[in-house]
Structure 1
Amino acid sequence: MSTGESSTSEVLSTEQMVHLLQHEHHRAIISYFDQKTTDSAVFDDLVEYIVSSDLKRGAKSAERREQVTIELLHSHLPRLADADVLEYDPRSETVRYWGNS
């Protein structure tokens, strides 16, 4: 995972952006920051945001919350961090969005 601020000189290629945006949770995380006009969030707020949109489609809350938590921690946040789109601090359970031009 990324440990420092995103380098503004690194711009994702179109192929990298398409690959990152293929998964609905990646899009949801970026959408969260876009809608909230903030660059940081508590991990649980991101989970709740994704779960609430899933519940609108009929998913079961407790099962879905656990699944989303695991997926974010082990897959989605690391991928977005590796692309320097965000940083996740597990000690403070904070996600900082760097975005990407």
Structure 2
Amino acid sequence: MTTALDDCLRLVADHTRRQVIHHLRQEATGSMTFEELVDVLHDGGSTFENGHPQTHETLAVQLRHTHLPKLTEYGVIELDHRNGDVRYHPDEQVETLLDSLPGGVSVASP
């Protein structure tokens, strides 16, 4: 049996998902387009796979098929497939957990 805390911990255990939340939280509107999100994550240079920087295309595929669906399922984001907008929905438990991490969202995945 899992708890809400367990689900939240699994959600933010991934560095890319923490970065998605971080960037959306920083936006005044709490949203950006999917392409803007891919660009900001890729240009930030914080996305790695097996120790190597990810290509823009690989990052986009992983966001669309792995990370955004998990964030959507938890209710933290909403992805509008018609116009590509990704909108952040604040979650007190997620924000409290992220804000309590030493180093914030920059803490690397285990």
Task: State TM-score, norm by structure 1.
Answer: 0.75
2:90 maps to 1:99: yes
Q: How many residues align?
A: 87
Higher relative contact order (CA 8 A, sep 6+): 1
Q: Give identity over the alignment, percent.
A: 26
| 1:53 Cα offset (Å) | 1.9
Q: Which runs of 5+ in 1 are unaligned?
A: 1-11
Q: Deviating runs (4+, > 3 A) in structure 1?
A: 55-58
> Cα gap change, 1:81/1:55 in structure 2, threshold over 3 Å: closer, same or farther?
closer
Distance 2:72 2:41 in 1: 18
2:13 maps to 1:22: yes
Task: State TM-score, norm by structure 2.
Answer: 0.70
2:40 aligns with: 49
2:96 aligns with: none
Structure 1 vs Structure 2 CA RMSD = 2.2
| 1:16 Cα offset (Å) | 1.2
